[in-house]
Amino acid sequence: MIFSPVFSESAYCAHHSTETALLRVLNDLPVASDDSKVSILTLLDLSAAFDTIDHGILLTRLRHVFGIDNVALSFLQSYLSDRRQTVLIQGFVSESTPLKYGVPQGSVLGPLLFLLYTQPLPHVIDNHSVSHSEFADDTQLYNSSHPSQIQTLLSTSERCISDVKQWMTQNKLQLNDSKTEALLVGGRGASDQALKLTIGHSQITFSKSVRNLGVMFDDELSMRVHVNKFCQLAYYELRKISTIRHYLSQQATQTLVTSLVLSRLDYGNSLLAGIPDTLLNKLQKVQNSAARLVFRCPKRTHTTPLLRALHWLPIAQRIDYKLSSMCYNVFNQTAPHALTEILTVYTPSRSLRSSADTKMLKVPRRNKKTQGQRAFSYIGPVTWNSLPLSVRDSDTPTQFKSSLKTHLFRSAFSADQ
């Protein structure tokens, strides 16, 4: 196995997000593929996870594992007990039913109590030397090996999932076997073996693509499926806006486009670093269409002046902006541990003229442009080191973001000025 056991709970934690959780996974899998390894990514599906938490187990864990006792424990016990539920439909109210299990969703304490309840789960996974990433009730497992050891890899994954399932059963959580998905990455040579994962009484066939925290992963990690689905959705939203465009002001149209299209364009865009130009161009065409819609311009209107007027960074620069921001957080000590441990500050072996530049990251050696060089541990430092020192050496996050956008904006449009 090439992955050391990793625990990364990203939900409800400062400076963590679904994107940082996915970025670590989409770093480790290409690195394994770069080393000619086969990887199995398994996405576990829990049924009504927040609603099945056993109050007795939770309170015992809070007391004996986290040291919460006396008044604080009594407060939490009171918070969880004597809750009731009714259903209101067309003016008719059902009888009140006591809630003996679960934590309140939509509350401040609910998600935190769920994380404390599932605290032992990473240790169960670590026993199998399988890497993992958690975001609330979404758990993904991944491990790798040489293609010749694919059967051993399958067995390891199945044993790990079996122990996870057993732990969940003991803790009143239900793993939905049939809805669990698996992806075989870099396994072209093994695809003829009709490999399957056995989970409980279910046989899980490896998918060509899976939805992972809102992002489509395909078995080649090309992001082609994700880009195509995004473009399809984006054009659908743009068409809807275009039907009411003549009723809207330019500012209102820009607000709609930003909230319904650009916000989705920016979600997870750090995962798109290093994708082929053909996919980048598809995304750029979406942004160009959005700009024409805002200004009510004909289809063939040149969009560079429009993007400049809107102060929108083109797609490639938007990706660089996200990557650079995450690298800045490493120096600012606000990046998640899952990312900081795969980045190394560059220290020259001997005194050089550039030794005064202490804001550089080490670029690891990678073999394949389509795999290893797309990993965040490689493309993040490459993008970061290419920035001027005046940008990298910013004192505050606000100053950095302002300087970074100005630099990227000038580099994107300087040739057209």
- At 376-412, the pLDDT tens digits run 999 999 999 999 999 999 999 999 999 999 999 999 9
43-82 pLDDT, tens digit per residue, is 998 888 888 999 999 999 999 999 999 999 999 999 998 8
Give the pLDDT confidence score for residue 353 in this predicted structure: 58
CA–CA distance, 41 with 152 (Å, rounded to integer): 15
Output the CA angle 26-27-31, nearest 5 degrees.
115
Nearest alpha carbon to residue 272 among 328, 219, 315: 315
Which ranges in 188-336 belong to alpha helices (H)? 224-243, 250-257, 263-266, 277-295, 304-310, 315-331
Q: How far apart are CA 363 and CA 386, in angstroms?
A: 12
Cα–Cα distance for residue pair 387/367, rounded to 1 Å:
24
Percent helix, strand, coil in the chain (nearest 5)? 55, 15, 35
324: pLDDT strictly greater than 70: yes
pTM for this prediction: 0.88
The pLDDT assigned to 182 comes to: 93
**What confidence category does residue 3 fall into, taking pLDDT thresholds of 50, 70 and 90?**
very low
Whether residue 274 contacts residue 299, with contact meaning beta carbons closer than 8 Å, is answered with no
DSSP bridge partners of 392 = none
The answer to whether residue 350 scores a pLDDT higher than 80 is: no
Question: Is residue 123 within 8 Å of 5, Cβ to Cβ?
Answer: no
CA distance 187 to 344: 30
